[in-house]
Amino acid sequence: MSQASAERVLISADQIRKRIDEMAASIVADYPEGPLYLVSVLKGAFIFVADLARALKRSGVRIEFMGISSYGKAKTSSGQVKVTRDLDVNIEGQNVLIVEDIVDSGITLSYLTRLLQQRHPKTLEIATLLDKPERRIKPVKIKYAGFQIPDEFVVGYGLDYAEDYRNLSDIRVLTGAD
């Protein structure tokens, strides 16, 4: 049995809250009016999108979800990306902001941006809470990044390990997992 634990706090709940307010202010400045579609990737980004959406002090914010196959129980990417739940709205001609929890290899987001671009949104940009630039394999253009973090496996604030730890209100480093 693995002895995984998540005791070391990397980013506190307070730091997250403050940074999300800053990100939201930039987003509102860039998209002052009209519908803005937040396309959030399940499950990891669900807490981030909930907080980010509430920090966006404007009307016309739409929240949509997509399911993309993720790491499952393992800590490294299989390199395989699959849509498990698609959008049920038409994003043609709309301002779309993909809301992600973390960009690691960039494989998921480079796939997703290519897919959504084919639907001809007016604009398509990326907001991620966490960015692990050292691990990048595929280049991804991130417009709004909350925190750059080192190459460590983190959990909490929506991010899991084997479906655990999503409910932590801060971001912690996972140790002792396989």
Closest CA relative to residue 129, chosen from 174, 94, 98, 163: 98
What is the Cα–Cα distance from 114 to 110, expressed in whole angstroms? 6
Q: Taking CB under 6 A as the rule, does residue 154 contact ligand 5GP?
A: yes
Residue for token pair 């009016």: 33
Return the C-alpha torsion angle 46, 51, 53, 55, nearest 10.
-170
Q: Taking CB under 6 A as the rule, does residue 20 contact ligand 5GP?
A: no
Catalytic residue among 51, 101, 104, 160: 104
Q: Taking CB under 6 A as the rule, does residue 10 contact ligand 5GP?
A: no
Give the total of residues touching ligand 5GP (CB under 6 A): 20
What is the Cα–Cα distance from 127 to 24, expressed in whole angstroms? 10
Q: Return the number of the residue (31 or 45) whose C-beta is nearest ligand 5GP.
A: 45
Q: Return the number of the residue (70 or 95) whose C-beta is nearest ligand 5GP.
A: 70
Q: Return the number of the residue (90 or 117) whose C-beta is nearest ligand 5GP.
A: 117
Clarify whether 164 is annotated catalytic: no
Q: Taking CB under 6 A as the rule, does residue 71 contact ligand 5GP?
A: yes
Sites of contact with ligand 5GP (CB under 6 A) = 44, 70-71, 77, 100-109, 153-155, 159-161
| Catalytic machinery residues | 104
